[in-house]
């Protein structure tokens, strides 16, 4: 049986851990509102950019190829005939720290599934978040290469982080003729839950162009290609910024919920240990009383 001293030390240690959990919960609660506001503000611009490019899709696909190319530069964002299907990209966005419940584990399981489905291919990885970076760095999978990493940016994501990530993705997509780029992250659904997202980032609308709309009657100045060269980088970066903000808010919500549950569990454990402490103390008192009674009886005899 544990001594009173051991039980008291356990209670003290658990209460100390509980205070840390409560502090982390309060910090996440304070940051989540700001993160939600930033996320909601970024959504309309990113969605409008997608809509604008979608409206220009038919015009872009109708553009003639240049030189010996089989397709025009802008149309690669939609059909990408020159891309190598055996060379693909993966954007993995996780948190920088643990203590967030299953937030990182869910993403990494999906990443592992993606890697198994694409064994034998050359995979270029863009890792955002320390947990994902460390996980992928430990894998010894042939063809897997981390070409870009960004750690320590949460919970203070800025548009500059999205710009760097977007530029790295587009550069790799064109220079190495990637067949596609897939994005895996946790989307913010509510304070109580997150939604795992695994979607194809590039090419755009790959499955939705079977029956493209007719070309528009717009006149483009200085030209559609020039406009598209300006529009696409902004589109990619705007969506990267939105995704980073979504992931940031989801991570904070997961941390807040995990710390709340852990704090409650710690409180229940302290209560249980308190009951155990009282039982051990009462048992000790009872034994002492019995020793006194037995001693008194022995003297009387």
Does the pLDDT value for residue 279 go beyond 80? yes
8 A C-beta contact, residue 81 and residue 208? no
Mean pLDDT of 135-151: 91
For the CA atoms of 13, 14, 18, 24, what is the dihedral angle to 10 degrees?
60
Does the pLDDT value for residue 206 go beyond 50? no
Can you give the length of the chain in residues?
A: 301
Would you state the structure tokens that stand for residue 227, as one six-digit string? 């406009």
Does the pLDDT value for residue 37 go beyond 60? yes
pLDDT 10s digits, 235-267:
888 889 999 999 999 999 998 988 888 888 888
Q: Percent of the chain having pLDDT more than 70?
A: 86
pLDDT at residue 98, rounded to an integer = 85
- Measured distance between the N- and C-terminal CA atoms of the chain, rounded to whole angstroms: 33
Whole-angstrom Cα distance, residue 111 to residue 151?
18
Res. 66 pLDDT band, cuts 50 70 90: low
Res. 211 pLDDT band, cuts 50 70 90: very low
**DSSP calls for 248-292:** HHHHHHHHHHHHHHHHHHHHHHHHHHHHHHHHHHHHHHHHHHHHH
From residue 198, how far is each of 53, 91, 113 by CA, in Å? Answer: 21, 10, 11
Does the pLDDT value for residue 44 go beyond 70? yes
Does the pLDDT value for residue 225 go beyond 70? yes
Q: Which residues contact 136 (CB under 8 A, 6 or more apart)?
A: 92, 111, 125, 127, 144, 146
pLDDT at residue 245, rounded to an integer = 92
Mean pLDDT of 143-154: 92
Walk me through the domains of the chain, giving residue ranges and CATH numbers: 43-255 (3.40.1380.10)
Nearest C-alpha neighbor of 212 from the set 53, 44, 45: 53
């Amino acid at each position: 049986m544990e001594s009173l001293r051991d039980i008291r030390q356990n209670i003290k240690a658990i209460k100390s851990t509980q205070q840390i959990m409560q502090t982390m919960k309060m910090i996440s609660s304070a940051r989540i509102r700001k993160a939600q506001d930033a996320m909601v503000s970024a959504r309309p611009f990113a969605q409008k950019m997608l809509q604008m490019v979608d409206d220009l899709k038919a015009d872009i696909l109708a553009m003639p190829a240049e030189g010996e190319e089989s397709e025009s530069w802008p149309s690669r964002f939609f059909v990408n005939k020159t891309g190598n299907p055996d060379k693909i990209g993966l954007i993995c966005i996780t948190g920088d720290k643990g203590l967030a419940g299953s937030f990182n584990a869910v993403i990494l399981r999906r990443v592992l599934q993606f890697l198994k489905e694409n064994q034998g291919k050359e995979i270029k990885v863009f890792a955002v978040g320390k947990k994902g970076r460390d996980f992928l760095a430990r894998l010894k999978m042939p063809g897997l290469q981390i070409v870009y990493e960004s750690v320590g940016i949460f919970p203070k994501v800025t548009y500059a982080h999205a710009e760097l990530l977007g530029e790295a993705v587009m550069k790799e997509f064109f220079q190495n003729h990637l067949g596609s780029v897939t994005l895996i992250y946790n989307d913010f659904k509510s304070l109580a839950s997150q939604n795992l997202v695994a979607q194809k980032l590039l090419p755009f609308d790959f499955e939705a162009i079977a029956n493209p709309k007719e070309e528009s009657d717009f006149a483009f100045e200085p030209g559609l290609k020039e406009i598209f060269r300006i529009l696409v980088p902004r589109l990619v970066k705007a969506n990267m910024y939105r995704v980073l903000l979504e992931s940031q808010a989801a991570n904070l919500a997961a941390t807040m919920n995990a710390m709340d549950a852990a704090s409650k569990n710690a409180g229940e454990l302290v209560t249980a240990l308190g009951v155990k402490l009282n039982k051990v103390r009462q048992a000790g008192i009872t034994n002492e009383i019995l020793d006194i009674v037995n001693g008194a009886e022995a003297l009387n005899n």
